[in-house]
Amino acid sequence: MKEYISLSHGSGGALTRKLVHEIFAAAFDNAYLRKLDDASVVTLAGGRYAMTTDSFVVDPIVFPGGDIGKLAVCGTVNDLASCGAEPKYLSASFVIEEGFALGSLRTIVSSMAREAREQKTAIVTGDTKVVPRGKADKLFINTTGIGFVHKLLDTKKIRPGDKILINGPVAQHGLSILASRQGFEGRTSIKSDCKSLWGIVKLLLQEHVDVHFMRDPTRGGVSAAANEIAQSCGFSLALLEKRIPATASCRSLCEILGLEPLDIANEGKMLFFVGESDAPKALRLLRSVPSCRQAALIGEVLSEKKSKVYLETSAGGSRVLGMPVTDAIPRIC
C-alpha cells in the first residue's frame, strides 16, 4: 500500500524519528548529520561553531506566555544552548498567508526583535514569501542560528552515576497550546514556559560545573528526550516521578485529559546531565536564577547498559518510561 505523511510524522515521537532516519538522514548522509543532534558542531577558522535550524508553525500564533515570534527565537537559541554554544547570529524566514493582518505581523516581529536583543543575538538575514489564501495557515517562521561553542558536549561523556537535573516545571508549553486551541475555559493559569536558556547554560559553564550533556525536552517532552539520550549513550536512566516538578494547574489538566505530563512539550526547559560530585552545586546555581526556583534533581544514570528509562512512580512502584508514540490525545472513556 502507498504510504502517506500523517500528522504523527511531525509529533516528535517514534514516527518523526523514523522519517528523519529513513528519508532525510539517508539522503543527506554525512558525519555531522549522523549524530542527529538538535544542532551540529562545525569547525571553522577561529573555532568551533554550532549551527541549527527550526521551523515554527504553532497554532494559535499567539498563546498565553508567548507567540510564534518569541518561540522562533527561543527555540533556535535553545537548540544552540543545548550544544554548549553561545547564540551569535540568526536568520529569519517568513511564509505569510495572503490576508494576514499587518498589525499582527508587526507585533510578532517586534516580539522576535525583543527576544533576540535580550539574548544579544543579531538577526542578520531573512526572507519573505507570501502565499495565496488557504495555501498556508496565517504565518510560518523558520529561524537558523549560529553559535560559538564554549564546551563540547556529547552523549558519550555521560557516565553511570551522573545526576539528571531539570530547571523547572514540565509540560507548560504543550498544555498552554492545547488549552488555548481547545478553548478550555478557566484554564488561563497555564502559561507557556517559552524562554531562552542560554543564560542558565552560560551560568553553569562559567562556574565550571561538570556538565556532560544537555538536551531541551521539546516535542515528546521529557519521555522522548530521556529515551533518545538513553539510546545514544547506551546506559539506562532512572527518573523519580515525585521529584519532577509540575505546577498544580498543569497536573490537574493532565489528570482531566488523561495525559502524561512527561510526554508533553516544553520550550523553556533543559535536562542537564551533571557529574555526580557537581550536582549539588549545579542545583544551587540553577535555583539562584529567579525563573528556575523549582529546578530539581530528578534522576540518575545507571550502570546497566540497556538503554532503558525507568520511572519510580509517585505511588512507590516502578515501570519503564517509553517513548511517546503519537500526539497527546484525550481519552475517550
Residue 102 vs 329, nearer CB to other proteins:
329
Q: Is 183 in the site for other proteins (CB under 8 A)?
A: no
Using the rule CB under 8 A, which residue among 114, 156, 242, 293 binds other proteins?
Answer: 242
Classify residue 154 as exposed, middle or buried by CB count within 10 Å of its CB (0-12, 13-18, 19+).
middle
Helix (H, G, I), strand (E, B) or coil at 294: coil
Give the residue with the Cβ less far from other proteins, 142 or 176.
Answer: 176
Using DSSP, state whether 49 is helix, strand or coil: strand
In whole angstroms, how close is the CB of 82 to other proteins at the nearest point?
26
Of residues 244 through 263, those in contact with other proteins by CB under 8 A are: 248, 251-252, 255, 258, 260
Q: Which is nearer to other proteins, 161 or 322 (CB)?
A: 322
Q: Which residues have C-beta within 8 Å of that of residue 240, sequence separation ≥ 6?
A: 298, 299, 311, 312
Q: Which helix (H) or strand (E) holds 183?
A: none
Cis peptide before 60 (omega within 30 of 0): yes
Residue 171 in 3-state DSSP? coil
User: Which span (13-21, 142-150, 173-181, 292-300) binds other proteins, by CB under 8 A?
Assistant: 13-21
Segment 283-322, which members bind other proteins (CB under 8 A)?
A: 311-322
**Quick check: 21 binds other proteins (CB under 8 A)?**
no
CA distance 285 to 295: 10
Rounded CA separation 72/53 (Å):
10
With CB under 8 A as the contact rule, the residue among 182, 206, 277, 288 that binds other proteins is: 182
Q: Which residues contact 330 (CB under 8 A, 6 or more apart)?
A: 257, 258, 259
**x/- binding map, residues 51-90, to other proteins, per CB under 8 A?**
----------------------------------------
The residue among 102 and 333 lying less far from other proteins, judged by its C-beta, is 333
Q: Is 8 in the site for other proteins (CB under 8 A)?
A: yes
326 binds other proteins (CB under 8 A): yes
Question: Is residue 280 a contact partner of residue 206, using CB atoms and an 8 Å limit?
Answer: no
CB of 318 to other proteins, least distance (A): 5
d(CA 199, CA 116): 13
Give the interface with other proteins as residue ranges (CB under 8 A).
1, 4-6, 8, 13-15, 18, 182, 242, 248, 251-252, 255, 258, 260, 311-322, 325-326, 329-333
